[in-house]
Structure 1
Amino acid sequence: MEENNRTDKEILTKGIKRLIICLLLMFAGPTLLHISFSNDDKPLFIPLLIVSLIICIMAIFFLFSGINTIINSMFQSKK
């Protein structure tokens, strides 16, 4: 029997969307982090720092999730 290992287009587009979200978060997180560190005497320093760190962590999560989804779309066999 011959296996039909083709890329699943729906899962591939889902992975690419996650990588696009990751790209946006990769710019937003460090930018907010820089802004929060440059204004450490302001009253919103701690909340902005927490939000920017959460955004950076979300960027890392979306990066690994997107790459994993793309790999699954290419190599997962359909039954």
Structure 2
Amino acid sequence: MSTNKELLSKGIKKLAMALPLLFIGPSLIHNAFINKQNDWHYLVLGIGIATCLGAVYLTFLGLKIMVRSLFND
């Protein structure tokens, strides 16, 4: 039972791409709720929600790839 190193590195890269998004998304959402009087409120909120969804997707994809590399289907 050996580990597929190529798939493992792909999974780690996906998780590394998700890491900044995990911090940027909630910061954008918080900023949007603080500045409700601004005209850009809904745009910043939409970008923040999309960033959070992207972070969740990349995290799920990275973990899925890593599990596949560890447990050879």
TM range (shorter): over 0.9
Structure of larger gyration radius = 1
Shift of 1:21: 1.1
- The one-letter code sitting in structure 2 at the alignment partner of 1:14 is K
Q: Does 1:65 align with 2:57?
A: no
CA distance in 1: counterparts of 2:27 and 2:16, whole angstroms = 17
- The one-letter code sitting in structure 2 at the alignment partner of 1:49 is L
Q: Does 1:18 align with 2:14?
A: yes
CA distance in 1: counterparts of 2:37 and 2:56, whole angstroms = 29
Aligned to 1:54, which of 50, 55, 72? Answer: 50
Percentage identity across aligned positions? 34
RMSD: 0.9
Unaligned runs of at least 5 residues, structure 2: none
Unaligned runs of at least 5 residues, structure 1: none
Q: TM-score, normalised by structure 2?
A: 0.94
Higher helix share: 2
- The one-letter code sitting in structure 2 at the alignment partner of 1:71 is V
CA distance in 1: counterparts of 2:29 and 2:46, whole angstroms = 9
**Secondary structure, aligned partner of 2:37:** coil
